[in-house]
Amino acid sequence: MKKLLTAVLLTTTLFTFAQQNLISNVPNRNTTSLNGVWNYIIDPYQTGFYSFHLDQYDKQEKAPKSAFYSNYHAVNKQELVEYDFDKSATITIPGDWNSQVPELKYYEGNVWFKKSFDYNLKDKKRLFLYLGAINYKADVYLNGKKLGTHEGGFTPFNYEVTSIVKPNDNYLVIKVDNTRHKEDVPTVNTDWWNYGGITRDVTLIEEEASFIEDYNIQLKKGNANSISGFIKINNLDIAQNAVSISIPELKINYKGKVGADGILNFEIPTKKISYWSPENPKLYDVTIDFNGQKLTDKIGFRTIATQEDKILLNGKQIFLRGISIHEENAKGGRANSKEDALRLLNWAKELGCNYVRLAHYPHNENIIREADKLGLMVWEEIPVYWTVDFANKNTYQNAQDQLTAAITRDKNRASIIIWSMANETPVSDARNTFIQNLARHTKSLDNTRLISAALLTRHVDGFGVIDDKIGESLDIIAFNQYLGWYGGKLEDAEKNLWKTPYNKPVVVSEFGGDAKAGFHGEKNERWTEEYQEYLYIQNLKMIEKIPHLSGTSPWILVDFRSPKRLLPGIQDGYNRKGLISNEGEKKKAFYIMQDWYTQKKKEQL
Ligand code: GCB
């Protein structure tokens, strides 16, 4: 058997499978989890990827045994093999390596991961490997065959593995590289930890020969009494093209036929919808039936729009009582599970929020689904952060691909009201074109939601001016400002006036300052809870007066790890702008914000 395996391995011609269209609604499909214990090999010199003369193994015709994805084992005692996954250390997947392996805390480089599994795929069925997110670059191999390479640390991707999987002893090998590069998205400089690894779920999805790949079921833009969208079938057999959508509570039982292109566009007039909102996070049971294959979901219906400088949810003006959140567990490490999501979102609820800004990249699907259930509106963002390489076409394509994947995954979630293109990007022609193109692309994929970006401002003649040109392409003018932290005097906060040429809703997407929980002093002593508390009091006095103000999402819910925050005894590798510490202690400013939101809520009623 071993000999046979070796022969097969040595004669395998490598073939790279193109990345496939993204399959959506994975949690409700027929799946097998590959989460759990995996073996890993730290490979800073990429010894398992290149020969000693730097020939890339997976570009060669045959997979040599020294390529780690061959997962080779010596067949006799004399043979030279210099790696062994099965004898290597183990790690929990999903999970970043920095918080799990002390020696990898600061590591930025290559690590190989291996999981073995059995899978009995019945005749005529198809199997897909779905990777929730890998930071940053992944080379994926199954049974020695390359499935593909993926870049971008926060969005899902999948490959078909029908012809490769076998009943026993499959080995999935993934090389993960979190080295930062100027042209990547994000670029080399960020104020968050570069957690490396397979940070979200790894899942096998079993499907029929032709199946429901994706769908969009939402209210039609501008019509609160019409549900519209599309259903997309993978590998349609035109003789069997009937599809139905049922929403029993709305007495909807729609039947339609998929076109030769595999797509059915539909529109279903309906009445008496109980609209999704923070007060009423109603989700309807929806079932799509395609040739007896049933795919279920829970979908909320709501409209979101702007009218001059107002944000209207279901036609009614709302104020976004928000908070910014990083995808990190209080004690460090990437958050991923439903429990992680609930911890963060329940804190946001306690603060009085009806809205969360999920910064600075698409978060995991669990948190979006929990926000749907809890009635929290969501801003979802891609990591076009600070100074990405705006003039570079590949960088643009990468950003657009990340946006497409996020929208494909999350477009049926009522909670998402805003897609954000960027954060604090420096104005230039190349940057303007980059963001305008992203804005156009977003609207072409989803014209039902609002778009925004967190902008920077200018100071002219004693005014803060919010006049970034790309505001023309946005529905919501959002900006970050740090009065009393990076500049400006808190005592004079109320004297700081703002103006904007845009008659659009304005959202303060960030403000705040650091405090070390438990560190007390005078209100003018930096890093104390009292300083942060005073900063919030004074900023809110100023923010109240901002024209067209429609919401705030202070920076940030919880202290988070950042390699840029080095002050000993205070920061120790953490950005301390959290209203809650990484130990879960609420700081004084938490209660200032909570009171303000209580007040705002009363004003809304
Ligand atoms: C910002 C950034 C955010 C930083 C924050 C800070 O403007 O958008 O990512 O963490 O400031 O603490 O400086």
Pocket flag, ligand 1, residue 71 (CB < 6 Å): no
Protein residue with least CA distance to atom 7, ligand 1: 480
Pocket flag, ligand 1, residue 158 (CB < 6 Å): no
Mean of the pLDDT values across residues 240-257? Answer: 98
Enumerate residues 6+ apart whose C-beta is below 8 A from 70. 9, 63, 64, 144
pLDDT tens, position by position, 261-291? 999 999 999 999 999 999 999 999 999 999 9
Pocket flag, ligand 1, residue 381 (CB < 6 Å): no
pLDDT tens, position by position, 287-320? 999 999 999 999 999 999 999 999 999 999 999 9
Confidence grade of residue 502 (pLDDT, cut at 50, 70, 90) = very high
pLDDT exceeds cutoff 70 at 100: yes
Pocket flag, ligand 1, residue 328 (CB < 6 Å): no
Arithmetic mean of pLDDT over the chain: 96
Pocket flag, ligand 1, residue 423 (CB < 6 Å): yes
Å from CA of 576 to ligand 1 middle: 11
Pocket flag, ligand 1, residue 480 (CB < 6 Å): yes
Say how many CA atoms lie within 13 Å of 238 toward its Cβ.
Answer: 3
pLDDT exceeds cutoff 60 at 596: yes
Mean of the pLDDT values across residues 15-28? Answer: 77
- Nearest alpha-carbon partner for 126 in 364, 297, 365, 293: 293
- For residue 358, which amino acid is it? L
| Residue 6: predicted pLDDT | 39
Protein residue with least CA distance to atom 9, ligand 1: 191
Pocket flag, ligand 1, residue 577 (CB < 6 Å): yes
Confidence grade of residue 19 (pLDDT, cut at 50, 70, 90) = low
- Nearest alpha-carbon partner for 340 in 584, 561, 587, 133: 584
Protein residue with least CA distance to atom 13, ligand 1: 191
| Residue 201: predicted pLDDT | 98
pLDDT exceeds cutoff 80 at 395: yes
Å from CA of 347 to ligand 1 middle: 20
Task: Answer yes or no: are the C-beta atoms of 145 and 159 closer than 8 Å.
Answer: no
Mean of the pLDDT values across residues 346-361? Answer: 98
Pocket flag, ligand 1, residue 420 (CB < 6 Å): no
Residues pairing with 111 in the sheet: 42, 176
Mean of the pLDDT values across residues 372-401? Answer: 98
pLDDT exceeds cutoff 50 at 2: no
Parallel/antiparallel/unpaired status of strands 477-480 and 450-455: parallel
pLDDT tens, position by position, 565-588? 999 999 999 999 999 999 999 999
Which ligand 1 atom sits closest to the C-alpha of 424?
8
Parallel/antiparallel/unpaired status of strands 463-465 and 497-499: parallel
Which ligand 1 atom sits closest to the C-alpha of 514?
12
| Residue 305: predicted pLDDT | 98
pLDDT tens, position by position, 119-136? 999 999 999 999 999 999
| Residue 63: predicted pLDDT | 84
Say how far residue 440 (Cα) sits from the centre of its chain: 20
pLDDT exceeds cutoff 60 at 15: no
pLDDT tens, position by position, 173-219? 999 999 999 999 999 999 999 999 999 999 999 999 999 999 999 99
Task: Quote the CA–CA distance of 475 and 422 in Å, as a whole number.
Answer: 14
Pocket flag, ligand 1, residue 213 (CB < 6 Å): no
Model's pTM, two decimal places? 0.96
Confidence grade of residue 20 (pLDDT, cut at 50, 70, 90) = confident
Task: Quote the CA–CA distance of 354 and 501 in Å, as a whole number.
Answer: 28
pLDDT tens, position by position, 523-542? 999 999 999 999 999 999 99
Q: Could you give the ipTM of this predicted complex?
A: 1.00
Which ligand 1 atom sits closest to the C-alpha of 485?
13
CB atoms < 10 A from the CB of 502, how many?
17
3-state helix, strand, coil in the chain (%, to 5): 20, 30, 45
| Residue 11: predicted pLDDT | 34
pLDDT exceeds cutoff 90 at 467: yes
SS (H, E, C) 544-570: CCCCCEEEECCCCCECEECCCCCCCCC
pLDDT tens, position by position, 137-183? 999 999 999 999 999 999 999 999 999 999 999 999 999 999 999 99
Task: Answer yes or no: are the C-beta atoms of 382 and 403 closer than 8 Å.
Answer: yes
Confidence grade of residue 331 (pLDDT, cut at 50, 70, 90) = confident
Which ligand 1 atom sits closest to the C-alpha of 577?
12
Task: Answer yes or no: are the C-beta atoms of 299 and 412 closer than 8 Å.
Answer: yes
Pocket flag, ligand 1, residue 510 (CB < 6 Å): yes
Å from CA of 132 to ligand 1 middle: 26
Which ligand 1 atom sits closest to the C-alpha of 562?
10
| Residue 253: predicted pLDDT | 98
pLDDT exceeds cutoff 90 at 7: no
Task: Quote the CA–CA distance of 312 and 303 in Å, as a whole number.
Answer: 8
| Residue 213: predicted pLDDT | 98
Pocket flag, ligand 1, residue 424 (CB < 6 Å): yes
Residues counted in the chain? 605
Protein residue with least CA distance to atom 4, ligand 1: 191
Which ligand 1 atom sits closest to the C-alpha of 560?
10
Buried b (16+ CB within 10 A) or exposed e, 10-47: eeeebeebebbebbbbbeebeeeebbeebbbbebeebb
| Residue 514: predicted pLDDT | 98
